[in-house]
Amino acid sequence: MQAEKNNALLLVVSAPSGAGKSTLCNRLVEKFPAMEYSVSCTTRAPRGGEKNREHYHFLSREEFDSKVARGEFLEHADVHGNLYGTLQSTVREALRQGRDLIMDIDVQGAAQIRSACAALPADDPLRRSFVDIFIAPPSMDELRRRLSDRATDSEETIEKRMRNAEKEMRERDAYAHLIINDQLDAALENLVQVIHAERKKRA
Ligand code: ADP
Ligand code: 5GP
């Protein structure tokens, strides 16, 4: 993967659903308008207000499977029974243009990119740009409260997300950075500090 400018950051952000990752990432993109949000592919149905190609590339299972077969994904995973994946082309294009990219992906996808990076030479643009961040809720009770208050999921889906959250929380030590999203402004400030520190390392 060749980059013309190689100080861009590939921010890989994971969190249990409901921890506030979308809220934080959206606030971050407002603060850093040059930062691009990576649009993933998924087989799940759009939620109210979600637009194709803006929030996700919404694909049928067959379309997703053929992209897997053609090797188009940098990573892909089954999350809560639906398939999600990041296209190689999305990441390659951002790196080529020297743009920062923020990826909201689950712990399985982050692990795939982490091990792919570890196998690359130290000066490879993908490896150089990779920064992984885990966002955790202050407690599991608060996570449940946020999922209920968000009112986008059925009780059954919330239970599934809570079970998955227990597993995801066990992966948090694999990430270079851990941010507890208790007070939103403080968590955003921590995230901004991580970005400044990572930029400084590469300057
Ligand atoms: P995720 O993208 O991780 O699934 P969301 O960003 O949708 O989570 O946040 C889940 C819910 O919690 C939303 O209703 C959001 O407004 C709320 N929320 C996010 N961060 C905080 C916070 N620091 N304190 C209280 N509520 C929060
Ligand atoms: P949601 O359906 O709520 O938008 O996302 C559910 C989960 O899928 C979240 O944990 C989110 O991080 C994850 N996810 C979204 N896009 C991708 C992706 O491209 N790859 C992987 N591995 N996970 C993703």
**59-117 residue pLDDT tens:** 999 999 999 999 999 999 999 889 999 999 999 999 999 999 999 999 999 999 999 99
Q: Which ligand neighbours the alpha carbon of 168 most closely?
A: 2
Q: Which ligand neighbours the alpha carbon of 104 most closely?
A: 2
Q: pTM score, two decimals? A: 0.94
Distance 144 CA to ligand 1 centre (A): 11
| CB-based pocket (< 6 A), ligand 1 | 15, 17-23, 146, 149-150, 181, 183-184, 187
Distance 142 CA to ligand 1 centre (A): 10
Residue 5 above 60 pLDDT?
no
| Cβ–Cβ under 8 Å, residues 74 and 113 | yes
Ligand 2 pocket check for 106: Cβ under 6 Å: yes
SS (HEC) of the chain: CCCCCCCCCEEEEECCCCCCHHHHHHHHHHHCCCCEECCEEECCCCCCCCCECCCEEECCHHHHHHHHHCCCEEEEEEECCEEEEEEHHHHHHHHHCCCCEEEECCHHHHHHHHHHHHCCCCCCHHHHHEEEEEEECCCHHHHHHHHHHHCCCCHHHHHHHHHHHHHHHCCHHHCCEEEECCCHHHHHHHHHHHHHHHHHHHC
CATH for 10-38+99-202, options being 3.40.50.300, 3.40.50.800, 2.60.40.10, 3.40.50.620 = 3.40.50.300
- Kindly report the average pLDDT of the chain as a whole number: 94
Ligand 2 atom nearest the C-alpha of 107 is: 22
Residue 128 above 70 pLDDT?
yes
Residue 4 above 70 pLDDT?
no
Q: Which ligand neighbours the alpha carbon of 55 most closely?
A: 2
| Cβ–Cβ under 8 Å, residues 16 and 104 | no
Q: How confident is the model at residue 7 (pLDDT cuts 50, 70, 90)?
A: confident
For the segment 130-149, the average pLDDT, to the nearest whole number, is 97
CA 114 and chain centroid, separation: 13
Q: How confident is the model at residue 1 (pLDDT cuts 50, 70, 90)?
A: very low
- At residue 101, the pLDDT reads 96
